[in-house]
Amino acid sequence: MEALAVRLSGLDPYVDGAMRIVAFYDTLMRRRVDLAALARASAGLAECVAGIRLHGTGRSTRVSPHGTQASTPPAPASTEAPITLDEEEIGTVWLERPGPPNPLDEVLLDRFAIAAAAAAERYGPARTTMADPALVELAVSAESDDAARARALRLLGFAPDLPVHVVAVRTCLPLDRVGTLVCPARPVKAAPLADVGVILATTLDRTGFPAGVRAGIGATDSPDRAWRQARTALRFTSAREPVVHHAELGALALLADIPAEAVRDNPDVTAIARLSPEDLETLDTYCATASVRRAADVLHLHHSSIARRLDHIGKTLTLDLTTPTGLTRARLALTTWRLLDD
């Protein structure tokens, strides 16, 4: 490493210095240094503590300018940069410079992060969540044979003796973030398929889905069957129930197989379409609770207000919502009407 022993303090702060930093890290990458050696070289170049943290392990490496493990308490990072691999953020590199940042710190961190990604991929543990969509599709497609599916799952990092949960997701958040939240223990893989995201995970924490995410969960016996179930369950999600497991739908899952033309011709469903958003929320809450008072508690309204709304809704639907038959018809109509949007 002696040939690489340059210092930022001796570099021109502009183009020449930046080019020498790029050459410095190119040499490190050609020598295939590991993360520990990369941190030592970066700390020596920057003349301050340099650090690396990989999200997959949660561990941090802090090295002093002398090439030893930093013994001082961690200081706030003066500058930092994300480590990105396959368009996924897998960690962070940073400098702990006591004074103001050096003009070349940004260039150094950029190359430091690139070199760290290469080292993590080569030596591990990179543990990226995002996977090749073609490989994920092969694992969940009904057109794949058992041998191809098993090979795809093995390449994705799943052991043959472990169950694989399959989740269909609609979200504006990055899929890798959602995947690590619902399966922090890993392995977990995610990829976009058409307009839906798919997450494959060995374990699944239903409470880990962030707000705003809609998720349908399939069974674990067969990935292709689970994927069909997960997409069906996703259609039954709502603002009140954003995460739905197919197994919990029971006979309600049969509603997803009704042709759209038959749904649109049903008078109960067409009546649902005439309700206002406020009435739809009231009816949905009442169907879920089967109680005027419990619905009032959920909606933070007086029970008499809910009773008046339900009376109005019942007249619009020509149903008596106080009877079991009327409530069942209303729930089926509301659920089936929602399926038209998916």
CB 287 within 8 A of CB 294: no
**Tokens coding 161:** 């003796």
pLDDT for 3 beyond 50:
no
CB 66 within 8 A of CB 41: no
How far is it between the farthest Cα atoms of the chain? 86
Nearest CA to 127 out of 184, 203, 168, 175 is that of: 184
Q: Confidence class of residue 2 from pLDDT cuts 50, 70 and 90? A: very low
Angle (nearest 5°) at CA 142 between 207 and 263: 70
Question: Does 16 or 275 have the greater pLDDT score?
Answer: 275
pLDDT one-digit tens code per residue, 257-268: 999 999 999 999
List the single range of 55-59, 123-127, 226-230, 263-267 with lowest mean pLDDT: 123-127
Domain boundaries, the chain: 2-123, 133-255, 258-339
Averaged pLDDT score across all residues of the chain: 89
pTM score, two decimals?
0.66
**CB-based contacts of 106: which residues, under 8 Å, 6+ apart?**
79, 81
Unique residue bearing structure tokens 């690590």: 180
CB 171 within 8 A of CB 197: yes
pLDDT one-digit tens code per residue, 65-107: 999 999 888 888 999 999 988 777 888 999 999 988 888 899 9
Cα torsion through 199, 338, 141, 212, rounded to 10: -10
The CATH number of 258-339 is 1.10.10.2840
CA distance 189 to 258: 32
pLDDT one-digit tens code per residue, 280-332: 999 999 999 989 999 999 999 999 999 999 999 999 999 999 999 999 999 99
